[in-house]
Amino acid sequence: MNCSDLIIIGAGPGGYKAAVYAAKKGLKVTIFEDVNVGGTCLNVGCIPTKTYVHSKDFKEAVERQPQVVEALRSGVETLLSHPNITLVREKGVFINANTVSGVTAPNIIVATGSSAKMLPIPGADEQNVGSSTELLGLKELPKRLCIIGAGVIGMEFASVFQKFGSEVTVVEYLKECLPMVDGDIAKRLRKLLEKRGITFYMGAGVKSIEPTPNPSLKGGEQSKSFPLGEDLGEAVLFEQKGKEVAVEADYVLMATGRKPNVSPDFANAGFEYDERKGIAVDENFETSVKGIYAIGDVNGRQMLAHAAEMQGIHVVNRILGIEDKIRFDFMPAAIFTEPEAACVGPTEDQLKEQGVPFECHKSFYRANGKALAMNETEGMVKLCCEPEEGKLLSAHVFGAHAADIVQEVTAYITLGATLRQLRETVHIHPTLSEVLIEVN
């Protein structure tokens, strides 16, 4: 039986980053991966989606996607060739609390990620219904795309496919899109996307999906919109304000969240887990069994690639007895629509619910010189802080390079800085980041 200092199950962002970091610190690491290294984010998630966002049309996006993914995957393979790392290209299966597929170690990290969650409704398995993975696999642009769900995945695909020329409809159960973003920001972004031609049905509960004749077909001609050449479209049936509504589409994207990838063999290790919530962990991402940790999407805490990466680094530090000050209570996130949206910290409504004293400060891109020069005047910044320009609590932004702007505020928040200190930091002129010191 082989021995290692650390076993990692899954070579996604959390798993491979933890492996490389641990190896550089001198640990002998065995990492298991039965699909492609890089996980969902690199292969069928963040990276392919951003390739679409930054492509001028659908044809270019389809051509560039595999090139970008392969280049980055090759880079991960190179990182995992470190002499202290053994990459096993098979599924890691727990035999007991110290053994995975014939390898033993005193410490084990589970980083198995997540998969798309489909609504349990009639028609969810229709041929022209799929998750983001299947949508990214289409070789022809759907003329009509219906997206169920207005979270991060739904909004990003709505924005990019509308840009490519699809007629896009979004059906969302909640009253507003992007629940993790401040309501004021989310509403403004949705209204802007509506002006660009995207149709939104908010507060709508989807009941079923049914095949329907495709009106674009003539004389039995097959539609190129369909991956398997069927001559049927799909009708998404939902209820909104007591009325039954149907939306027809060539393709339906089910963007209704993700579920942790748990496995029956987890029971052999003895830690607590749930098929819906994932693996239960403490503040250091350790499971109920000492020496076994769970990071990334599988613990259900923060389903973000960068969260998984930092959780993995924290776990390795803990194994090595290294103290760090990583702030998992302030996790920035971005939505790569056009324009972008991004956030860090609680929304205004959440602060009110928590009874936290705060004040809000806003500024708008239309008053920023760089935004005017870039012809990117649609945008807004909302900063929340303790009273009298005290400690920064959150930032919610939409507009060009919103992610970069929120990243700057994240650094201030992590260090416990105040709005006054942010205002007193010299910012280069002209830059978009000047919107931060222009808040009033």
Handedness of CA 304, 393, 422, 415 (dihedral sign): negative
Query: 142 and 51 in one domain?
Result: no
Are 268 and 347 in the same domain? no
- For 14-40, what is each residue's pLDDT tens digit? 999 999 999 999 999 999 999 999 999
Domain that holds residue 404: 339-436
Q: Which pLDDT does position 220 carry in this prediction? A: 38
Predicted pLDDT of residue 22: 98
Query: Are the beta carbons of 298 and 260 closer than 8 angstroms?
Result: yes
Residue-wise DSSP of 363-413: EEGGG-HHHHHHT----EEEEEESTTT-BEEEEEEESTTHHHHHHHHHHHH
Is residue 366 one of the residues assigned to a domain?
yes
Per-residue pLDDT of 149-170, as tens digits, reads 999 999 999 999 999 999 999 9
Co-location of 223 and 291 in the same domain: no
**Which residue is it, tokens 């389903």?**
303
Q: Say what the pLDDT of residue 228 is.
A: 36
Within 10 angstroms of residue 142's Cβ, the number of other Cβ atoms is: 27
* H helices present in 166-212, as ranges: 183-195
Judgement on whether residues 242 and 136 belong to the same structural domain of the protein: yes
Residue 429 and residue 362 share a domain: yes
Question: Which segments in the chain show pLDDT lower than 70?
Answer: 214-232
Which of 200, 234, 254 is where one domain is finished? 254
Question: What dihedral do alpha carbons 189, 193, 199, 202 form, nearest 10°?
Answer: 0
Backbone angles phi, psi at 401, to 5 degrees: 55, 35
CATH number, domain of 20, equals 3.50.50.60
| Per-residue pLDDT at 213 | 76
Is 140 found in the same domain as 234?
yes
Residue 35 sits in the same domain as residue 109: yes
Comparing CA positions, the residue from 367, 364, 362 lying closest to residue 379 is 364
What's the confidence (pLDDT) of residue 231? Answer: 53
Same domain, 362 and 414: yes
pTM given for the model: 0.93
At 358, which CATH number? 3.30.390.30
Query: Which among 320, 350, 368 is the end of a domain?
Result: 320
- Looking at the structure, tell me whether residues 269 and 214 fall in a common domain: no
220, 254, 288 - which closes a domain: 254
322-353 per-position pLDDT tens digit: 999 999 999 999 999 999 999 999 999 999 99
Whose tokens are 């339906």? That residue is 252
- Do 164 and 135 touch, CB atoms closer than 8 A? no
Residues taking part in catalysis: 429
Per the structure, the count of domains in the chain is: 3
Assess whether 170 and 227 both reside in one domain.
Answer: yes
Is 386 within the bounds of a domain? yes
In a domain, 124, yes or no: no
Q: What is the CA radius of gyration of the chain?
A: 23
Q: Is 177 among the domain residues?
A: yes
- Whole-angstrom distance, CA of residue 242 vs CA of residue 120: 21
Cβ(407)–Cβ(397) below 8 Å: no
Residues 62, 105: one domain?
Answer: yes
Q: Is residue 22 part of a domain?
A: yes
CB 341 within 8 A of CB 348: no
Helical packing angle, 183-195 and 152-164, nearest 10°: 20
